[in-house]
Amino acid sequence: MSTHTEHQASQGPEPLDVNDPKLTRFDIVREGARRDDIEIVHYEPQVLPGTKAERRLTRVVAGFFLITGLAATAFLAIYIWWPWQYEAGRGGDKFYTPLLGFTLGVALLAVGFGILTWGKKLLPKEVSIQDRHEGQVDSEGRTITGQTMLYMADELGVKRRPLLGISLLAGLAPVAAVAAAPLVGGLISQPHKNNQMFTTGFAAAEGGQRIRLVREDGRPIRPADISSGGQLTVFPGIDHGVSNRHADSPTLLIHLRDSDAQESRRANEKVGHGDYMWGNYAAFSKICTHAGCPASLYEQQTNRLLCPCHQSQFLITDNARPVFGPASRRLPQLPIEVDSEGFFVAKSDYTETVGPDFWERP
Amino acid sequence: MTSDNDRRRGLLARLRERPAARSRGRRRLGAAVRLIAALMLAGGAYTVFAPGAQAQDNPQLTGAAAEGKALFDVSCVTCHGRNAQGVEGRGPSLIGVGAASVEFQVSSGRMPLARQEAQAHRKPPVFNDEQTRQLAQYIQELGGGPVVPEGDDLREDGNIAAGGELFRINCSQCHAFGGGGGALSSGKFAPSLHPATDRQIYAAMLSGPQNMPVFGDNQLRPEQKADIIAYIQETLKHDQDPGGFNLGRYGPSTEGLAIFLVGIVALVFASLWIAGKS
Amino acid sequence: MKRRKFDLAATPGKAAVGVDDRFAVATPLRKLLNKVFPDHWSFLLGEIALFSFVVLLLTGVFLTFFFEPAMTEVVYDGSYAPLQGTPMSAAYASSLDISFDVRGGLVMRQMHHWAALLFMAAIVVHMLRVFFTGAFRKPRETNWIIGSLLFWVGFLAGFTGYSLPDDGLSGTGLRIASAIMLSIPVIGSWVTSSVFGGEFPGTIIISRFFIAHVLLIPGLLVALISVHLGLVFKQKHTQWPGPGRTNNNVVGERMFPRYALKQGGFFMVVFGVIALMGGLFQINPIWLFGPYEAWVVSAASQPDWYVMFLDGSTRLMPAWEIPIPIGDGYVIPPLFWPTVVLPGILVGLSTMYPFLEARHLKDRKSHNLLERPRDAPARTAVGAMAVSFYIVLTLSGANDVIADKFQISLNAMTWAGRIGLLVVPPLAYYVTYRLCLGLQQHDREVLAHGVETGIIRRMPDGRFVEVHQPLSASNGHADGHGQLDYVGWVVPKKMNRLGALGPAIRGFFYPIEKPVEAPVSPGHPPVEARPEREEIGSGESRR
């Protein structure tokens, strides 16, 4: 291929008369290419007409297209007749999607390789050289366009009549603002409405009634419900308490073992949370203070709480202090006690901000 | 696996030992009462974790428990001490852990421990079902504790939809959505649920092995446990993946690997061929 | 009966004349048909991205017919039994319906997701090709910037799409996204509240993401891709140096018919690979994740691979909180640095790189010839540094999966990532730099002394020497051959690249040509160098 590399593109012979009846079609093609500054320097059929090689390649390409037809037909047949509905535990549809993907994939790959073989093997090889005209700056063109633009500026006369320019700017600036205003104004939303970033569903209702801790099905919780070394996800016992409407409220109620509970109480006292635990029970926000994932991988022997998103680890017996990973703030603790009917209630809302950190948090 | 027969015979024998068959409800009630008692005992046992703790020196053991004691004194005593009171720095006291704990640890091959490391691994069990039952009986009679109900199929009438919801709220954070397990801090891990039997899952929930929190019967009622087991066994294990090969259900990490190893590699080879000189 | 004579064969010609009468397209069309494209496998990587984008549009349109972008709560009653009776958002329920109740919906959903992963992967691989070959240099800086923007816009498209099903995994991702927005100093809470329409998660985010995912972002992508391709067309493709190739020409094939056929075939192959993956490999099994609930999470919660590097940087970030003791006190959370500042720096560095390099090298020339990575050791080493940085972050994004499956301590993985992020990139720089120099050295050695033949000759004094095949004819030097200049292209280093072996026999199952005469036997004297080797020359070196 590389034997034909004489470079003669732009300085080629005079343009041909394309209406000359003596020219072959290829001559015209070549002339067209020349007019686009392209020189076809090498053009060589890969297979000669009528040879064994040509017949063989034709069969290969045709074979690919036939495979496409078969696979596409199979796709349709499977699509229509294969049982596809889900059935629990049986999965009669297990092969439906794979078969669809397989037949479709084979159909497409076969047509692709058919076309590719056609193009790659049956068409003549060629090497063409096109001129880039790199570095030949059309300086005349630049001058003309530049002068035209300057002329237009002169005609407008902004330089002579500055008032026009200033007033245009003054007029257009508010228009731009008008375009942005509905979007910004419509989207913008006050983040501190109802103090929502600093309160959770456990905030006492009006009248000071304390909020019960409930399970995911709404049942309140007795101390006997959680075994020592156990943990339970609890929610505020209010309307929609167990829903994403109170995405900051999910709380982990942990029943610590005696020795751990003692340690935990001592740590509580150090930060002035002496009465936050009830017996051996402590409640911590489940929402990680780092990025808001539910930090809920509780290790009952080490008393570590791991967040699965970024691996922050909190030591429950030390006020849920972060001991590893990117979290910088301890999990807020919910002060709890047991009401007269024997169910857990929140003494008050969280006394620290729940959820991921933000600028005005402290 | 081969010992299914053994186990069934063993269970029959146990049933025959009982004075009279009780109704399911009463049995459950009884179990609950026993459980509460056992839990209190367990709590007590933890407070007296120090070496001074004394279990009854000469308890009246039933036949199975006596056999269990014989096994214990050969295989477990080194770490867990005489009368299962524990050895400081080697193995914890087993007073009050209950038959459930023994069954989980021994039947899944975690005990006897191969070596001290961050966490015990599942291995082929050393003891057969009969021996496991005897060991469990021994520990149970020593200090009480939670017991797994009888039968191999603990997911009867389990509701997979309810089980799925409970699984996602209680289990998936450690064992992952697909039940394949996940990493915990410093080399600890939540194991894959795929090799676990109904009884092992039940026992694990009851006893909270290693760092797993305890899910007592007050927290997850036995029928809720059945729901969870049904979800794990039927949906996570038996339901085939409808979308083809599941890439190990590791989530986006293996999917990302696949797009490079399969997609990009295949297409780069294709482009090598397309642009190659023929 | 008289009938007008109707010549079928002449119809296309007549129609063409008719069209040209009205639109005068003949000459522009000829220019288009004749345009020359260089041929090299690495020039096809960008096409993978383009073609998977087409597949994304096709499958995406299908999905919109069935997806309901609403967060209204419904109780699922579709055919997937393990979720029946579960309250969930309409978006999640309709995604389940696409997977289980729309015939063939699952394969379309999976193809859409695989195509998205492939789109991003191909963009990255294509960017690496462009970077390491220096194709971004003048005059193509604009196209490099557009390409980098395409990565980031594709990133947004991917993230919004990943969030739409509102399943347990994507909801967790959305929660993290909200925390990232919250972490921006001063305006964080306002941004979050405005995007989510109140407190997280609100009730409108899915509808907003939907319109962004199906209209705004694809519109932007289409616009950017059109400009990208238009510029490639206008500026003409770069090419490797080689025989006859100069900075002023393009050597290759005309666009029609062969080049276009290859492109069409390649599109089908890309489509086919996506279809195979969509059917055979399960992706994002949302039915296992359950609906998004703020208290539900799974071990190994990861984003798609192209977001994973940000997750990794977040995991590695030490817990450095910056308190600002003014008034009530303010705080810059540690989350801000790896998720807002780092991507900002990366966008800035990557888009500005062409200008930085040109400034550093004081290079104001236009470059249409590519450089082999070894010939620009500094750039290649910088690229290796960036790649290793990215890989450490991406691996750290999956460090819990790695820790679990290879039984490594999770905390050790985090520390390995932290240290690796600081140590590996400089190491990669140094090693790559030395490798480039070594390869250059070897190229020049071969040019000077010839190719190793594997023939050992014993000299009369008992020494053994290996016979080298010189690449050029003798020019009267002491050692009997001349020295060739290195011109930026592959130097043959094996005898069969010089034609020492006979050409391969063609035909897959049986030969379709008569095999040529037996190849040169090892005992033969070294073959003559092929004369055309002397013509190798890059235009640049000639100028």
Domain ranges across chain A: 1-133, 213-346
Q: What is the CATH number of the domain that holds B164?
A: 1.10.760.10
Per the annotation, where are the binding residues of B for heme c? 76, 79-80, 171, 174-175
* Count of positions (residues) in chain C: 543
- Same domain assignment for residues C88 and C200: yes
Q: How far apart are CA C526 and CA C455, in angstroms?
A: 9
Task: Count up the domains in chain B and report the number.
Answer: 2
- Structural domain harbouring C421: 372-449
Q: Is pLDDT of C1 > 60? A: no
Cβ-based neighbour number of residue C195 at 10 Å: 18
Find chain C residues with C-beta within 8 A of B170's C-beta.
none
Q: Is pLDDT of C475 > 80? A: no
- Same domain assignment for residues C418 and C531: no
pLDDT of residue C183: 92
Mean of the pLDDT values across residues A152-158?
A: 85
Contact B213 A225 (CB under 8 A): no
Contact A116 C265 (CB under 8 A): yes
Q: What percent of chain B has pLDDT over 70?
A: 78
- Ramachandran class of A218: left when φ > 0, alpha when ψ lies in -120 to 50, beta otherwise: left
Q: Is C416 helix (H, G, I), strand (E, B) or coil?
A: helix
Q: What is the band of B71 on the pLDDT scale with cuts at 50, 70, 90?
A: confident
Chain C neighbours, 3+ Cβ pairs < 8 A: A, B
Find chain A residues with C-beta within 8 A of C316's C-beta.
326
Q: Is pLDDT of C285 > 70? A: yes
Q: At what angle do helices C105-132 and B265-275 cross, to 10 degrees?
A: 60
- Same domain assignment for residues C486 and C519: yes
Q: Is pLDDT of C525 > 60? A: no
- Same domain assignment for residues B29 and B105: yes
Which residue from A minimizes the CA distance to C208?
A187
Cβ atoms of B32 and B217 within 8 Å: the answer is yes
- Same domain assignment for residues B80 and B101: yes
Mean of the pLDDT values across residues C353-367?
A: 91
Q: Which residues pair with C466 in a beta bridge?
A: C456
Q: How far apart are CA A141 and CA A232, in angstroms?
A: 78
- Same domain assignment for residues B52 and B125: yes
Which residue from C minimizes the CA distance to A100?
C279
What residue type is C474 in one-letter code?
S
Q: What is the band of B14 on the pLDDT scale with cuts at 50, 70, 90?
A: very low
pLDDT tens digits, one per residue of C135-165: 999 889 999 999 999 999 999 999 999 999 9
pLDDT of residue C395: 94
- Same domain assignment for residues B17 and B40: yes
pLDDT of residue C523: 45
Contact A290 C279 (CB under 8 A): no
Q: Is pLDDT of C91 > 50? A: yes
pLDDT of residue C541: 40
Q: For chain A, give the mean pLDDT.
A: 87
Cβ atoms of B156 and C282 within 8 Å: the answer is no
Find chain C residues with C-beta within 8 A of B233's C-beta.
none
B98 belongs to a structural domain? yes
Q: What is the band of C504 on the pLDDT scale with cuts at 50, 70, 90?
A: low
C29 belongs to a structural domain? no
pLDDT of residue C145: 95
Those residues with Cβ within 8 angstroms of residue A22's Cβ, 6 or more apart along the chain or in another chain: none
Q: Which residues pair with A344 in a beta bridge?
A: A338
Find chain A residues with C-beta within 8 A of B240's C-beta.
91, 94
Q: Is pLDDT of C306 > 70? A: yes
Q: How far apart are CA A331 and CA A334, in angstroms?
A: 10
Contact C290 B177 (CB under 8 A): yes
pLDDT of residue B278: 52
- Same domain assignment for residues C74 and C176: yes
Mean of the pLDDT values across residues B83-89?
A: 79
Residues 287-316 of chain C with CB under 8 A from chain A are 292-301, 311, 314-316
pLDDT of residue C224: 96
Q: Which residues of A139-149 are buried (b: 16+ CB within 10 A; e: fewer)?
A: eeeeeeeeeee
Give me A211's structure tokens: 């909020």
Find chain B residues with C-beta within 8 A of C409's C-beta.
118, 186-187
- Select from C199, C294, C333 the Cβ nearest to the Cβ of A358: C333
Q: For chain C, give the mean pLDDT.
A: 87
- Same domain assignment for residues C216 and C292: yes
pLDDT of residue C516: 53
- DSSP conformation letters of C241-287: -BTTB-TTEEEEEEIIIIIHHHHHHHHHHHHHHHHHHHHHB----HH
pLDDT tens digits, one per residue of A83-108: 888 776 555 577 889 999 999 999 99
- Which residue in the block uniquely carries the two structure tokens 């049904």? B230
Nearest Cα of chain B lies from the Cα of A37 at a distance, in angstroms, of: 24
Cβ atoms of C363 and C134 within 8 Å: the answer is no
Find chain B residues with C-beta within 8 A of A88's C-beta.
160, 234-235, 239
Q: What is the CATH number of the domain that holds B136?
A: 1.10.760
Mean of the pLDDT values across residues B213-239?
A: 88
Give me C45's structure tokens: 């990587």
- Select from C41, C304, C410 the Cβ nearest to the Cβ of B252: C304
Q: Is pLDDT of B48 > 50? A: no
**Of the given ranges (A98-102, B53-57, C95-99, C373-377), which has the lowest mean pLDDT?**
B53-57
pLDDT tens digits, one per residue of C229-284: 999 988 889 999 988 888 888 999 888 888 999 999 999 999 999 999 999 999 99
C331 belongs to a structural domain? no
pLDDT of residue C9: 79
Find chain B residues with C-beta within 8 A of A311's C-beta.
185
- Cα–Cα distances in Å, from A311 out to A94, A314, C299, C305, C412? 36, 10, 10, 18, 12
pLDDT of residue C513: 58
Contact C262 B274 (CB under 8 A): yes
pLDDT of residue B52: 40
- Cα–Cα distances in Å, from A21 out to A78, B201, B230, C12? 57, 90, 85, 21
In the B/C pair of chains, how many CB contacts fall below 8 A?
201
- Same domain assignment for residues B92 and B171: no
Least Cα distance to C88 among C16, C166, C149, C156 occurs for C166
pLDDT of residue B50: 39
Mean of the pLDDT values across residues B107-128?
A: 82
- Same domain assignment for residues B123 and B173: no
What is the C-alpha end-to-end distance of chain C, expressed in Å? 74
Omega cis (within 30) before A356: no
pLDDT tens digits, one per residue of C385-439: 999 999 999 999 999 999 988 989 999 999 999 999 999 999 999 999 999 999 9
Residues 60-119 of chain C with CB under 8 A from chain A are 73, 79-82, 100, 103-104, 106-107, 110-111
pLDDT of residue C210: 95
| Interface check A342 vs B, CB under 8 A | no
Asked which of C449, C471, C503 is the last residue of a domain, the reply is C449
Find chain B residues with C-beta within 8 A of C173's C-beta.
none
- Same domain assignment for residues C440 and C456: no
- Same domain assignment for residues B60 and B13: yes
- Same domain assignment for residues B130 and B41: yes
Residues 237-256 of chain B with CB under 8 A from chain C are 239, 241-247, 249-256
- Structural domain harbouring B117: 1-151
- Same domain assignment for residues B77 and B46: yes
Q: What is the band of B241 on the pLDDT scale with cuts at 50, 70, 90?
A: confident
CATH 1.10.620.20 fits domain A213-346: no
pLDDT of residue A158: 78
Find chain A residues with C-beta within 8 A of C257's C-beta.
119, 123
B272 belongs to a structural domain? no
Chain A neighbours, 3+ Cβ pairs < 8 A: B, C
Cβ atoms of A128 and A33 within 8 Å: the answer is yes
Q: What is the band of B56 on the pLDDT scale with cuts at 50, 70, 90?
A: very low
Q: Is pLDDT of A2 > 50? A: no
- Which residue in the block uniquely carries the two structure tokens 């489509």? C271
Nearest Cα of chain B lies from the Cα of C343 at a distance, in angstroms, of: 20
Contact C121 B264 (CB under 8 A): yes
pLDDT of residue C522: 46
Contact C512 A9 (CB under 8 A): no
- Same domain assignment for residues C402 and C465: no
Q: What percent of chain A has pLDDT over 70?
A: 93
- Same domain assignment for residues B119 and B6: yes
Q: What is the CATH number of the domain that holds C136?
A: 1.20.810.10
- Same domain assignment for residues C380 and C480: no
pLDDT of residue C535: 42
Q: Is pLDDT of C81 > 50? A: yes
pLDDT of residue B235: 85
pLDDT of residue A59: 93
* Count of positions (residues) in chain B: 278
C315 belongs to a structural domain? no
Q: What is the band of C4 on the pLDDT scale with cuts at 50, 70, 90?
A: low
Q: Is pLDDT of C10 > 90? A: no
Q: Is pLDDT of B46 > 70? A: no
Residues 102-141 of chain B with CB under 8 A from chain C are 118
C174 belongs to a structural domain? yes
Cβ atoms of A118 and A60 within 8 Å: the answer is no
pLDDT of residue B29: 56
- Same domain assignment for residues C97 and C125: yes
- Cα–Cα distances in Å, from C500 out to A203, C445, C518, C524, C525? 86, 20, 11, 10, 11
Q: Show the 3-state SS of chain A.
A: CCCCCCCCCCCCCCCCCCCCCCCCHHHHHHHHHHHCCEEEEEEECCCCCCCHHHHHHHHHHHHHHHHHHHHHHHHHHHHHHCCCCCCCCCCCCCCHHHHHHHHHHHHHHHHHHHHHHHHHHHCCEEEEEEECCCCCCCHHHHHHHHHHHHHHHHHHCCCCCHHHHHHHHHHHHHHHHHHHHHHHHHHCCCCCHHHCCCCCCCCCCCCCCCCEEECCCCCECCHHHCCCCEEEEEEECCCCCCCHHHCCCCEEEEECCHHHHHHHHHHHHHCCCCCCCECCEEEEECECCCCCCECCEEECCCCEEECCCCCCEEEHHHCCEEEECCCCCCCCEECEEECCCCCEEECCCCCCCCCCCCCCCC
Find chain A residues with C-beta within 8 A of B211's C-beta.
299-302
Q: Which residues pair with B245 in a beta bridge?
A: C281
B252 belongs to a structural domain? no
Asked which of C449, C476, C511 is the last residue of a domain, the reply is C449
A94 or C24: which carries more pLDDT confidence? C24
**Of the given ranges (A59-63, B20-24, C309-313), which has the lowest mean pLDDT?**
B20-24
- Same domain assignment for residues C523 and C379: no
Q: How far apart are CA A218 and CA B181, in angstroms?
A: 29
C3 belongs to a structural domain? no
- Same domain assignment for residues C61 and C144: yes
B248 belongs to a structural domain? no
Q: At what angle do helices C305-316 and C410-449 cross, to 10 degrees?
A: 120
**Type and span of the H or E element at C150:** helix C141-163
B251 belongs to a structural domain? no
Contact A291 C269 (CB under 8 A): no
Chain B neighbours, 3+ Cβ pairs < 8 A: A, C
- Same domain assignment for residues B122 and B79: yes
Cβ-based neighbour number of residue A14 at 10 Å: 5
Mean of the pLDDT values across residues C38-57?
A: 94
Q: How far apart are CA C83 and CA C165, in angstroms?
A: 15
Q: Is pLDDT of C534 > 60? A: no
pLDDT of residue C166: 92
Best of A281, A297, A324 to mutate (most B CBs within 10 Å, chain B): A297
- Which residue in the block uniquely carries the two structure tokens 């994002």? C284
pLDDT of residue B39: 58
pLDDT of residue C3: 62
Q: How far apart are CA C377 and CA C432, in angstroms?
A: 7
- ipTM, two decimals, is 0.90
| Interface check B4 vs C, CB under 8 A | no
pLDDT of residue B107: 85
Least Cα distance to C172 among C76, C298, C88, C73 occurs for C298
Those residues with Cβ within 8 angstroms of residue A235's Cβ, 6 or more apart along the chain or in another chain: A201, A213, A214, A215, A216, A241, A242, A246, A249, A250, A251, C295
